[in-house]
Structure 1
């Protein structure tokens, strides 16, 4: 019996993932690589990708956005340091400490809570300070806020261990603003260290910054998208795409010009032609925006446009193509013949600057299959 009962499969090339990691480690020249595994490892599967990356001796820390992601990695057997990057609801601080996750200090009042947790469990809680430099989501601003944090920290010792400080860029297209953010961040680190807090690890750059501004690597770089795909518009040519999403044709129909497609009759055939129904829709994580832009898919090695979608099925124009029921359809990545439709190229059709936004949309209805090739 076929064990994959899903309507579509995301094929993940583990050897390409490892090649990408080795490329990045060489590029960073001894600076730390911190893989970012938020959003189910950008849709590729948190637990399996986490284990693959944790197997590298050169990788010491994995980063996630939420406590639940860190918990899933621990459940999967990952023992390395796991840094939570985003703000944490108060009710999750205790379970995060029990899981030995490294927690952010992103506002005043967090450290006193962590002191209590450290005392209760009998060992310090690991933390990193999030310095606010201009994105204005979470973090503490240099000056009065960091001064107040230092007061909290002096009362918190020895029940918290500071392992680093970090920030995040807001607009890499603005070189001046990016440089100002770096200066603000480093001034915050200097303020903390002048106040007696040792900051053993500094990081501000993520994937795009590692491409645009290698001078801002500091002690390490957080890498998410570049684990899986190259730059969307200025590829360096050193990173290969890891994921290929495929489904199947389930129906074919001849239609006339003016015939309506899908719910509401908003999409109509512009000419007589043939349409194919494929076995995925927005409930699987297919972007309706992409369908609305008539984004392409690969069938029999040829690009054909999507026309309309619903939750579970999508209609594709296959006019003039020798298409058959049960033909395989590649929504992005490689088909079995080696033809390639880049997720980065596809994402640009709807204004997304990174194809990992497409993979992150994929739901649990999409099977993840890991391959060595």
Structure 2
């Protein structure tokens, strides 16, 4: 009798699974849609949706925050997992965007290959085998050390065009850039090289406000000293997202935000988020792959993290921390499913479990929104507040996640 019951349950589950509709391959890529229609073939288990309107609005708001200064958008780490090529394609037509900054040479080239026209700053190093490609594609190369300067000067000896460069000054961050006490000498050497054109001079500020103010003073003194010597330093920029909000003196000729572009503030509950309400630019969605009613005393996960105290329906989503969904979600996050919010109770490498309560109308194949603008609790800001973690941790999605671009949602 137990065998018959088990077989019947399995056949019912298999029948439900076979009936699930899926996402058509024609939707994936950069095709704009005004709404999302449930699909019919070629499934995807989970995906990201990006909004052109939200990205453009955020670029406008950030420029306004900085007294109309242009924005150099940092899209390193695959735009925090949201897709550097996809985000750059969206923002390439924004009048508020000066260009894009990355730290990997191959990703800078990928933007050009994708048709990005605006300036691209490579803030990191590059392999010599990529040097000529970087020059031919007008990538701005950073001079962050004496060795980097020599490498770029060697490239210029074999190039018929001037190489656009940026002076990267270490004013106290300590991890990257020309130490400020060596910067004058290297900057004048770069300026005296006929094959090089200094397009930008920049530094990176630390978070503590008092020290950041000292960094700004050091940077401004250097710029003045170089200007007196006739060195053209190009456009200056200092302000990452945190300093952009907190230190108006950091704005310089342009600002250089990362997470703000995506509609998130660096920390939850920042006062600036009320004055400057950014738009969430993305939705993270997943379909329900399993639905099961567990009994009181049952547990979930290798560590038995969640223990069922009374009979309840548990939905499984096929996305986990291995895909970039923050494991901290199991400490208070919500998921939107069929118009209602449900608590996340477990996140492992490949799956997320949500509790649906004693009764449910949810079906296998229904689509859940883990992050999105629909409810305050699932916005990037709302997620950060619920799980009491800073907002960078929730944007770390793997490059392989499919992405769909909308005009608006």
2:307 aligns with: 268
Secondary structure of the corresponding residue to residue 314 of structure 2: strand
Note the C-alpha offset of 1:132.
0.8
1:251 aligns with: 290
TM-score for the superposition, normalised by structure 1: 0.88
Contact 1:333-1:340 at 8 Å conserved across structures: no
Q: Aligned partners of 1:14 and 1:147: how far apart in 2?
A: 42
Q: Aligned partners of 2:185 and 2:174: how far apart in 1?
A: 18
Note the C-alpha offset of 1:250.
2.1
Secondary structure of the corresponding residue to residue 223 of structure 1: coil
Contact 2:141-2:164 at 8 Å conserved across structures: yes
CA gap of 1:33–1:351, structure 2 versus 1, over 3 A, is same
CA gap of 1:53–1:61, structure 2 versus 1, over 3 A, is same
Would you say 1:72 and 2:99 are equivalent positions? no
Would you say 1:368 and 2:403 are equivalent positions? yes
Q: Aligned partners of 2:276 and 2:198: how far apart in 1?
A: 38
Q: 1:241 aligns with which of 275, 280, 285?
A: 280
Note the C-alpha offset of 1:150.
4.1
CA gap of 1:202–1:253, structure 2 versus 1, over 3 A, is same
Q: Aligned partners of 1:288 and 1:19: how far apart in 2?
A: 30
Pairs aligned (count): 364
Contact 1:81-1:101 at 8 Å conserved across structures: yes
Unaligned regions of 5+ residues in structure 1, if any? none
Contact 2:167-2:201 at 8 Å conserved across structures: yes
1:116-149: CA deviation from partner (whole Å, max 9, x where unpaired): 1112022222111111112111111222x12441
Secondary structure of the corresponding residue to residue 357 of structure 2: coil
1:166 aligns with: 202
Contact 1:141-1:188 at 8 Å conserved across structures: no
Q: Aligned partners of 2:338 and 2:352: how far apart in 1?
A: 17
Contact 2:377-2:386 at 8 Å conserved across structures: no
Q: Aligned partners of 1:320 and 1:18: how far apart in 2?
A: 43
Q: Aligned partners of 1:8 and 1:248: how far apart in 2?
A: 6
Q: Aligned partners of 2:24 and 2:94: how far apart in 1?
A: 33
Would you say 1:157 and 2:193 are equivalent positions? yes
Would you say 1:227 and 2:261 are equivalent positions? yes
Would you say 1:104 and 2:142 are equivalent positions? yes
Q: 2:71 aligns with which of 16, 30, 33?
A: 33
Note the C-alpha offset of 1:101.
0.7
Matches within 5 A, 1:195-210: 195-210=229-244
CA gap of 1:267–1:90, structure 2 versus 1, over 3 A, is farther
Please identify, of 64-73 and 252-261, the stretch whose mean Cα deviation from structure 2 is larger: 252-261
Secondary structure of the corresponding residue to residue 62 of structure 1: strand
Q: 1:2 aligns with which of 17, 24, 48?
A: 24
Would you say 1:358 and 2:404 are equivalent positions? no
Would you say 1:287 and 2:326 are equivalent positions? yes
CA gap of 1:181–1:97, structure 2 versus 1, over 3 A, is same
Contact 1:252-1:276 at 8 Å conserved across structures: yes
CA gap of 1:212–1:93, structure 2 versus 1, over 3 A, is same
Which of 1 and 2 has greater Rg? 2
TM-score for the superposition, normalised by structure 2: 0.81
Q: 2:383 aligns with which of 346, 353, 356?
A: 346
1:238-273: CA deviation from partner (whole Å, max 9, x where unpaired): 311111111122222222233121224344324432
Q: Aligned partners of 1:371 and 1:101: how far apart in 2?
A: 29
